[in-house]
Structure 1
């Protein structure tokens, strides 16, 4: 698959603080790309540099084979959907969508029939038929999101940047809009670069997932690779599905506050040594039960459990005060009841552990 966007060693600083510190990435054409990262990691800055709203201190940006680093935003053919939608409250749904076509600097559309045809087609595409004359102050959050997207798509950009586009929506609507955004993108055949702080959103939507950490791309890959094989403790920690122990490698085991922990496979190189085990790879047993030869086992005191609908998360306090989390999917078995303040054995297969050293 050919690359639609390539960044090489892009640096953006505000004073002495680097918001982007040597960004290298290549994004495939006709794909959905999720950009995941904690607050302050540089996600929005990266979008603004790609769009041309911010100028980098150094590095190159090539879009559809052209160097666009010095090109103004309106000449880049890149759409931008803002988190707050940035709609014009005094204009109707139709006029908001038509605005970009009529008022753009490059090749504005002056023929009313062409404008009407293009707007009608994009309104149908995003599911707003029948709302053309409605004021944007009289439509729902999900409909506003579609208007903002339609206003961008009607100008036929080669790529669309979305800055946390689902952040202003309620949980049910967010879940529904995930699939709708993917369907809309597939019909248009353009690349979407979708910024989010939600690991669930990023993994469920992205054909490719980028993880941004401390102004650098920490990992790039498909959702399965990111989820099952995070490249560093920082990525594993941000995915919010791994228990991590600090420590160091000692021969073929990992020395941690919980003792020597076994593992299979090769440790991954990291400046931040850690032992990681995913929440849903852990079995809870009566304290004192003997572990199998291929297992690792520690003990903890049950604190509380949390029901999330599809799973139950149980929380245990370890001897050093660390909280240890276990996730049990309800599709696998009925939820267990654990006694508060009672000790339990927590066991997992050696092969399921990830070690960074």
Structure 2
């Protein structure tokens, strides 16, 4: 597969803060890439360096094999969709969309007829028909998001960068816009690099998922690989679906404040970044305190604290004897929500093979 973007050991400093620390990656052409990381991990800085709004302090950025060093932002053939949409409130929907074309430099500026045709096509593609003459204050949040995307796509960029593009939308609209963004990208055949702080959004959107950890690449993999096999404790923590235990690796066991966890042979010291032990919320079964564990299982005890019911799942919290909380997620498609007694003790059990052990 052809490469559209390549970053080679890119760094960016703000005084003593190293916002990007030797980022190296390649993005394929015609793909949807999610970029996930917590606040302060360098996500937006990375986008701004790629777009040319910030200049890197080291390393190189190449688009379609050509170096972008010294190339200003408006000549990079890279589109940028901002979180707040950055629309012009005094212009109509159509004029917002056509703005980039109308303000192209010199001979690159299309004729009025070509601009009208391009705007008409992109309006149809993004579902904005009938809204062309409205002001952007007269349309909904989802429609404004489409206008921002249309304004970027109408210039036919080689790469589109999206900085938290769904962050300003309500939950129902965010879910619907995920499908629409993917469908639009597939029709155009251009690569989208979609930055988000939402692990759910990142997993749902990307053909590939990049996890950024304190200015460094933590993992690049297919979303299901990142979800099931996070490369480090930091990546597992970002996903917000793993219980992480501290401790040390001993002979056939992981030992820490929560207890001694016997290890599955295949899981022992399988990853770096530790020592740490991780088990996903939905891999844990809640049992009565007298129920024993099987030979292939790990068991600890905790007192029930509270549950959160979301409709599709129930997330329950149990406090261990060392004071830490363990989260247990139950999917409710084939069962009723469980009822636990306040402060009552329960066994928390999982299969050894379901644990991830970081050496």
Count of residues in Structure 1 that have an aligned counterpart in Structure 2: 357
Query: Do residues 345 (structure 1) and 332 (structure 2) align?
Result: no
Partner of 2:304: 302
Indicate the residue corresponding to 1:277 in structure 2: 279
Cα deviation, residue 110, structure 1:
4.2
Moved more, 265-274 or 193-202: 265-274
The answer to whether the 8 A contact 1:102-1:108 is kept is: no
What is residue 69 of structure 2 aligned with on the other side?
Answer: 69
Which structure 2 segments of 5+ residues have no match? none
Residue 108 of structure 1: how far off its partner (Å): 3.8
Q: Write out the 4+ residue segments of structure 1 that deviate beyond 6 Å after TM superposition.
A: none
Residues 74 and 104, structure 1, Cα contact 8 Å, conserved in 2: no
Q: State the secondary structure of the residue aligned to 2:71.
A: coil
**How many Å separate the matches in 1 of 2:178 and 2:274?**
34
Counterpart in the other structure of 1:115:
115
State the TM-score, normalized to the length of structure 2. Answer: 0.98
- 5 Å-filtered alignment, 1:1-357, equals 1-105=1-105, 107-264=107-264, 265=266, 266-357=268-359
TM-score, normalization: structure 1? 0.98
Shift of 1:107: 4.5
Deviations 1:174-221 (A, max 9, x none): 111010000010011000000000000000000010000111010001
| Secondary structure of 2:54 counterpart | coil
1:125-170 Cα deviation digits (max 9, x unpaired): 0000000000001111100000000000000001100000000001
Counterpart Cα distance in 2 of 1:323 and 1:17: 33
8 Å Cα contact 1:75-1:106 kept in structure 2? no
Maintained 8 Å contact 1:246/1:274? yes
- Root mean square deviation of aligned Cα: 1.0
Distance 1:37 1:275 in 2: 21
Shift in Å, 1:111:
1.7
Where 2:175 maps in the other structure, the secondary structure is helix
Unpaired stretches in structure 1, ≥5 consecutive residues: none
| Superposed displacement of residue 226, structure 1 | 0.3
